[in-house]
Amino acid sequence: MTGNASPAERLADAVENDILSGKLKVDERLPAHRDLAWRLKIGVGSVTRAYAILERRGLVCSVHGRGMFVAVQQENPGTRFDLATNMPPPMFSNRALASTLTRLAKQVDPDLFNVYPPVAGHLEHRRIMAHWLAGLGIDVRPEGLLLTSGAQQALNVALNVIRPSVTYAITEEQTYPGMLEAMRQSRLPVRATMMDAEGILPAALQDILQRNRSERAAVYLTPTMHNPTTATMELQRRQDIASLCRKFDALIIEDGVYVAERNPSRPSFMELAPERTFHVCSLSKILSPGLRIGALVPPICYVEKCLPALLASSLMIAPLSYAMMAQWMEDGTAESVRNALHREAFRRQELVVSNLPEAVKPLYHAFHVWVPMPIEQVARVIEHARHLGISLPSMTSFQAVEAPLNTGVRLALGNEPLRKLPEALKRVRSACLLAKGIVSRDTISIY
């Protein structure tokens, strides 16, 4: 904290250091506002603001009528934190899982386990998934939906089906590594387009399409909660891109894995351009990582063409996953977990923004946050973070172009317990300061 910081900020940092160093123990009561203000000769309002900062950072919690208490315990200096793996935190307890399995044992259809399922999944399960997707703003008939073993398989099938009719792909300059690798495996040339806080820039997209108008393109994009930058397109941007793809006859692969609610002001590309959009979604990011069930909604004219590609991929959904999906969606468990994850994501995002003011606050509730920074700093931050016990994704893993203009570091928030995030974020903040040369390694006590 610089000398220009307010008394509240300096006090918050001092108390944070005492908590994370172990000087203040978990459940220890902090001094009353007036007592501390008198002892430090600062205003009561400064103490109130400092405690509010600490609460946003997840370090303390308020107990009505009793005061403010330390909420986290000191982590061992050697503890390592994984902020690279992007997944939601576990929300299903052992008891909930046992209860689900007990109910399934009494009512599950033996045919689920005794025969191969249809290539696109049992029609009843497709009906249940279609009903679930309708709640997310994706209206599709069960017959037009293919169940897949996660979003990656759905992306691979879409790419496999359109590959004969396209000669190159367009995507954001930073994008999902799994799709980049799938494009490389299919030997599909990738042309990256510039992006801003809403994702792909229409003018940049038009320039690429115009210069290559004799060829047909596949446009891959994540319009909601883009990975890694969290960019989310507003209505006009979506309409502009859909119009350009229609004008130049480009096909669209829409990655909707982070869409967890219906929002009429941000319609899917499947709604805006259904005749050319392959919509991909998954339950892994919005319910549970272990529930490896995704869905592919292709244009109607491509549904039959997707079946051989899906069969050839030889990845079948486990019958138990089918049954659990159906059970949770029909008894309300899935809806309850989805809402709980919304609240948890909001808490974690607020924690990041409070600890790292330079981080972009996402518009949607998912479990990753983008910290923009110049390209020359990115590698240094990742390296310093590694020495501080923080795993971050590599600088190049998301890059569709060698030197993207929009650079930064992605923090994945779901793989560590909430109580551990304040310490992890403190170390990330230290790594950022070290990369900027603002502090010396000697000042970082956890080295």
Residue where the block lists tokens 């997944």:
87
Q: Are residues 298 and 162 located together in one domain of the fold?
A: yes
Residue 308, both tokens: 């051989």
CB count within 10 Å of CB 313 equals 16
* 3-state SS assignment for residue 77: coil
Cα→Cα distances 256→137, 140, 207, Å: 11, 14, 25
- The residue range of the domain holding 344 is 81-93+334-436
Domain annotation covers residue 258 = yes
Please state the rounded mean pLDDT for residues 189-207: 96
Classify the phi-psi angles of 3: left when phi > 0, otherwise alpha if psi is within -120 to 50, otherwise beta. Answer: alpha
Residue type, 270: M
Q: Which of 286, 301, 331 is the C-terminal boundary of a domain?
A: 331
**Does some domain include residue 421?**
yes
133 and 196 belong to one structural domain = yes
Whether 116 and 243 map to the same domain: the answer is yes
99 domain residue, yes or no: no
Residue type present at position 245: C
Is 356 part of a structural domain of the chain? yes
Domain boundary among 314, 331, 348: 331
The conformational region for residue 187 under phi > 0 = left, psi -120 to 50 = alpha, else beta, is: left
Amino acid at site 214: S
Whether 340 and 326 map to the same domain: the answer is no
Instruction: Classify residue 321 by its DSSP letter.
Output: H
Is residue 98 in a domain?
no
Q: 313 and 351: one domain?
A: no
In this structure, the answer to whether residues 131 and 44 fall within a common structural domain is: no
How many domains does the chain divide into?
Answer: 3
Among left, alpha and beta (phi > 0; psi -120 to 50; other), residue 29 is beta
CA distance 358 to 176: 22
- Mean pLDDT confidence for 184-190: 95
Same domain assignment for residues 34 and 162: no
CA distance 59 to 51: 9
Q: Report the range of poorest mean pLDDT among 60-69, 185-194, 197-206, 236-245.
A: 60-69
pLDDT tens by residue, 62-78: 888 889 998 866 666 67
Could you give the CA distance from residue 310 to residue 120 in angstroms, rounded to a whole number?
Answer: 8
Residue 447 falls inside a structural domain = no
What's the Cα-to-Cα distance from 10 to each of 6, 42, 270, rounded to whole Å?
6, 11, 50
**Residues 359 and 404 both lie in one domain:** yes
- Determine the length of the chain: 447
Please check whether residue 325 is in contact with residue 283, taking contact to mean a CB–CB distance below 8 angstroms. yes
Convert the pLDDT of each residue in 139-173 to its tens digit: 999 999 999 989 999 999 999 999 999 999 999 99
Query: Quick check: is 275 in a domain?
Result: yes
Q: Name the CA dihedral angle for 282, 364, 417, 334, rounded to a multiple of 10 degrees.
A: -40
Which CATH number covers residue 403? 3.90.1150.10
Q: What is the per-residue pLDDT for 94?
A: 61
Q: What are 318-366's pLDDT values in tens digits? A: 777 778 888 888 888 888 888 888 888 988 998 898 889 899 999 888 8
Compute the radius of gyration of the chain from its Cα atoms. 24
**Domain CATH number, residue 190:** 3.40.640.10
pTM of the model: 0.81
Statement to judge: residues 401 and 270 lie in one domain: no
126 and 252 assigned to the same domain: yes
Q: Give the whole-number percent of the chain exceeding pLDDT 90.
A: 57
Across 285-306, average pLDDT: 90
Please tell me the distance from the alpha carbon of residue 230 to that of residue 95, in angstroms, as a whole number. 34
On the question of pLDDT at 2 being above 90, the answer is no
Strand partners for 192: 171
- Check whether residue 250 and residue 356 sit in a common domain: no
Which of 308, 331, 354 is the last residue before a domain boundary?
Answer: 331
Which single residue is written with the structure tokens 């279609």? 130
In a domain, 28, yes or no: yes
Q: Are 154 and 283 contained in the same domain?
A: yes
